[in-house]
Amino acid sequence: MTPKDVVKFSGENNAKMVDLKFLDFVGIWQHFTIPVSELKEEIFEEGLGFDGSSIRGWQPIHASDMLVIPDPSTAVMDPFMEEATLSLICDIIDPITRETYSRDPRSIAKKAEAYLKSTGIADTAYFGPEPEFFIFDDIRFDQHGNHGFYYIDSIEGRWNSGREEGPNLGYKPRYKEGYFPVSPTDSQQDIRTEMCMIMESMGIPVERQHHEVASAGQAEIDIRFNSLLKMGDQLQWFKHIIKNVAYMHNKTVTFMPKPIFGDNGSGMHCHQSLWKAGKPLFAGEEYGGMSKIALYYIGGILKHAKALNAICNPTTNSYRRLVPGFEAPVNLAYSGRNRSASIRIPMYSPSPKAKRIEVRFPDPACNGYLAFSAILMAGLDGIQNKIHPGDPLDKDIYGLSPEELSKVPSCCGSLEEALTALENDHDFLLKGDVFTKDVIETWIEYKTNSEVKPMAMRPTPYEFALYYDC
C-alpha cells in the first residue's frame, strides 16, 4: 500500500483509531494510538514524535526526541481492539539527522536485506521460524529481600493428576509425552485453532498447529516462510495474537525458553534459505543434496555460533534449555535428520525449492529482527570466506564415547559466556553497517547490567534446599 492507499483503507474499514507499533531494543512491542482524523499522508514522511529515553536500551534523557515513521505496507485492522483500529508497524528515525536509528531492530533487519543484495550472492533470504510456547492457567512470581518464588499452574499439568477438581477427569499429558495426543488429553485444540484463524485473517499463512512435547500446555504453531523483514513483522504479530487470544480465554502465554523444571523447554527452530532471481541456491550435489554455498553458509553459522547465542538465546533462562546431555540442540555440528545437532538439513522433500537448513539453537525469547539478521550475517561470512563446516554429525550423540564427544563443540552455557563471545567475535556483524559498534556495545551493556548481574545477586529457592544446612 501507498500512504494514500492506507488512508483509503482506513475509511473503507471505518477505522476510528490508528495504532502505531514499534519494537524496543530488547524485543517487546511498544505502541501509541492516534485518532483516525490525525492519519494524514504527511506522517508517512514527517513522522510522529515520542520520548526515546523511556524505551529500554535507547536514548539518554538529554537527547530523547525520536520519530516513528509508519510503514504503509504493514497496514492491517487490529483484531483485538473494541473500536475499529488500523495498525501500522513503524521505523524509527532521528529527528535531527533524519537517518534511521541504529538501535531500531527493524532498521537493522532492513540493512541486513540491503547488505545481502549488495554482496551479489543472493537477493532474498527466507526465514521460517517455529516458535514454541506454553499456555498456562495461572502464573505468580515475586522476589524480595526475604522471599522469592514462582508458581505455575495448568489444567493440563501432570502434577495435577491427584488434585481435587470436582471432579478430576484425568487426561493430563505425561511429562515429555505431550507430542500429538488427541483430545481430551490435548485440551487446547480450539484455542490454537482460534489463534490460527486470526493469523490467516490477517494474511499470515499457517502451515500447522499442534501440542508440543511438554506437559502443561506446550504448543507450536508454524507459519509459512517469508523474507527476513516480513518474517520479523509477522513474528511480532504471531506473539501478539497468541498472547491476546489466550488472554481472552482467561489463560496466559509465555515464550520463556524454560519455564518448567523436568520437562522440555521451548525452542524456535529457524528454517532458512537463500534465493537469487527466483531460484534457490541451497540445492546441489553435496551432502544432504545441498550446494557448496549452503555448506559454507552452515560453516559461517557454526563458526560464529557462540556469538550468535548472545542474540538468538538472549536471556539467562535460555541456558536452562541449552544444557548438554539432554535433547536440546547444543552440539555445534550439522546433520541430515539428527535433531541433536544445532543445524539440521530437513529431508522431507527432494524438491530444490524445499532445500533449506534448520538452525535449532535459537529460542522464542529472542528479538526476531536481530536474530534473523545476525544468523544471515554469519552465514554470508561463511560463504564469503568459504568456511567449510567439516564432517556432518550423523551418529547418535548419546552413543558417542567421551573422547568423541569432547571433539564436538557446544553452544554457550550461560548468557554471560555468550556476551563475552559476542564481545570477542562481532566483526562479521559490522559489515555493511548492519549492526554498529554502538549496537553491539549497548546490547552487551544492557544484558550484563539488567539481567546477568541482577540474576547473579539473587538466591534461588533450590539453593536453600542445597545449602541451608551447610
Under 8 Å between Cβ of 71 and 194: no
Q: How confident is the chain (470 residues) per 10-residue block, as mean pLDDT?
A: 96 97 93 96 94 83 84 97 97 91 95 98 98 97 94 96 93 93 94 98 96 95 97 98 98 97 95 97 94 98 98 98 85 83 87 94 97 98 97 79 83 97 98 97 96 96 95
Phi-psi category of residue 57: left, alpha or beta, with phi > 0 → left and psi -120 to 50 → alpha:
left
Which is catalytic among the residues 19, 71, 132, 451? 132
Under 8 Å between Cβ of 286 and 295: yes
Which is catalytic among the residues 78, 186, 212, 363? 212
Which is catalytic among the residues 5, 38, 46, 51? 51
pLDDT at 398: 67
CA neighbours closer than 13 Å in the CB half-sphere of residue 289: 18
Our answer to whether residue 220 is catalytic in this structure is yes
Which is catalytic among the residues 158, 192, 271, 360? 360
Cell of 22: 514499534
Our answer to whether residue 344 is catalytic in this structure is no
Q: Which helix (H) or strand (E) holds 151?
A: strand 148-153
Comparing CA positions, the residue from 415, 403, 464, 409 lying closest to residue 443 is 415
pLDDT at 222: 96
pLDDT at 53: 84
3-class DSSP assignment, residue 141? strand
Our answer to whether residue 130 is catalytic in this structure is yes
Our answer to whether residue 417 is catalytic in this structure is no
Dihedral angle, C-alpha 240, 241, 246, 249, nearest 10 °: 130
Our answer to whether residue 132 is catalytic in this structure is yes
For residue 117, the one-letter residue type is: K
Helix (H) and strand (E) counts for the chain?
A: 15, 18
CA neighbours closer than 13 Å in the CB half-sphere of residue 460: 7
For residue 417, the one-letter residue type is: E
